Structure 1
Amino acid sequence: MNTLTRTERLGYSLLLLVYALGIYFANTDLVYFDTVITKEDGFAEYGTALMLFCISVLCIARLIKIGGAKPALWKLGIVGMALIFLFGAGEEISWGQRIFGIESSEYFLENNAQQETNLHNMVVGETKINKLIFSQILTAVLVIYLLIVPVLYRKTTWLKGLAEKFAVPVPRWNHTIGLLLATGLLEFMKASSRRWELYEFAFGIIFFLIFINPLNGYIFKKN
């Protein structure tokens, strides 16, 4: 395993501190955990949105800086990822609805589980979009991306070429281990259903670290 960069050390230290506080208060003061540590529009939620937004900005910055020398598919991959993480950041804070005091339209009041202007809390029939897409499908994607992709990248040329072609950053093992530990430590906060706010925060930090220092960092350098 490669030595951690300064950014990675800072990121993991912050995450460790937040998780330590979360575990402590989840087991000693559940009200504080729910209303301060993981509250709606709190540190964890805004922190997650900020990390996702920073990933989007990083992608655009790379496109501007070196995109001119890259092929069309590389640019397509970068733009696609920038839009995905921008969408994630916007969804996390309901596109600033609560920040700016914007009322939800009648459609969202009737079809959104939290009556907010976002898609991940929508309910279609009896199915919650959040549970289907942002839990089940996203979990499968994370398993593939963090566990399978790094192995195949090291052993096959076709995946290496695909990642290079579409500018997809490949996780290092410290990133994989970090998110696995963040997943396991949730068991120490199971007294609260709001523990997932900290998991989303971990997701944001670790994915930011992946994009900053991927295994295949050469794809973000000029030819």
Structure 2
Amino acid sequence: MKIKTLTKTDILGYIFLIIAFAIGFYYAYTNLNYFDTAYAVEDGFVENSQFVMLLCSSILLFYYFFNFFKHKNAYWKLGILVMAIAFLFASGEEISWGQRIFNIQSSEYFIKNNAQHETNLHNMVVDGEKVNKIIFSQLLTIVLVIYILILPILYRKVAFIKKIANLFAVPIVKWHHTIAFLIATGFIVFVHSEKKWELYELAFAVIFFLIFLNPLNKKEIFSANS
């Protein structure tokens, strides 16, 4: 991978992740308590950074939606709108919809059925299992493997897949995005803390913003003439 294939935004994004991971590794191996209770804690640096990046992705997708609205068909609009709403939802869930910020008390239902007694869905408990583990971990892992590893190959090799992806405005990752995900995954394995997934989610949030900003098929899906 040549450096010239990276945009300035890509470089800044990866530098930010390198610094965030380096700090996380330092505290994970020198002061695990600080890592768990300060660095990767709820409303800490890592989680707030996740929120910002997820929200930025949503804003960027809504920008595409409204900027190219009159030039695109219903399939494109549906694809962009679904992604924009999904990332808006993810950003809201990350901070429990501002509940802790505004000191809002959870309803009795969420107190009884939410693992953290907060107003969000990803920490809900169903039959003793957290929704976060069932959907946001297991299912999301499968989706990520398909999107990050398999779809880029199929897009380049199969004309039908390329047509469908462009039709629904699915941003295709570049290989440096894939490599970044794999490196982050490899590093996370060596962090021995339950809070390490907050750091992994930060990588997810930053890399997806970079994908939406400059995907492989940017000319095909994010231009008025496509």
TM-score, normalised to structure 2, is 0.96
Q: CA deviation at 1:128?
A: 1.5
RMSD: 0.9
**What is the percentage of aligned positions where both structures have the same residue?**
58
Aligned counterpart, 2:149: 147
Specify the alignment match of 2:168 in structure 1: 166
1:25-67 Cα deviation digits (max 9, x unpaired)? 1001111111221111011111111111111111111111112
- Over residues 93-134 of structure 1, what are the superposed CA-to-partner deviations in whole Å (9 max), with x where a residue is unaligned? 100000000000000000001100000010112222111001
Match of 2:135 in 1: 133
1:88-107 mapped onto 2 (5 Å cutoff): 88-107=90-109
State the shift of 1:21 in Å.
0.8
Q: Which runs of 5+ in 2 are unaligned?
A: none
Q: Distance in 2 between matches of 1:35 and 1:6?
A: 34
Shift, 1:189, TM fit? 1.4
Q: How does 1:19-168 map to 2 (within 5 A)?
A: 19-168=21-170
Residue 211 of structure 2: aligned partner: 210
Q: In terms of mean alpha carbon deviation, does 103-112 or 46-55 score higher?
A: 46-55
CA distance in 2, matches of 1:153, 1:116: 40
Q: Distance in 2 between matches of 1:167 and 1:71?
A: 10
Matched residue, 1:197: 198
Gaps in structure 1 of 5+ consecutive residues = none
Q: Which residue of 1 aligns with 2:178?
A: 176
Deviation string for 1:116-161 (max 9, x for gaps)? Answer: 0000010112222111001100000000000000000000111111
Aligned length: 222
SS at structure 2 position matched to 1:121: coil
Question: Which runs of at least 4 in structure 1 moved beyond 6 Å after TM superposition?
Answer: none
- AA aligned to 1:77 is G
How far off its partner does 1:187 sit?
2.3
Secondary structure of the equivalent of 1:20? helix
Question: Matches of 1:124 and 1:19 in 2, distance apart?
Answer: 32
Structure 1 or 2: more helix by fraction: 1
TM-score (ref. length: structure 1)? 0.97
Query: CA–CA distance in 1 between the matches of 2:186 and 2:174?
Result: 19
* Secondary structure in structure 2 of the residue aligned to 1:185: helix
CA–CA separation in structure 2 for the residues paired with 1:128 and 1:17: 31
Task: Measure the CA separation in 2 of the matches of 1:124 and 1:28.
Answer: 36
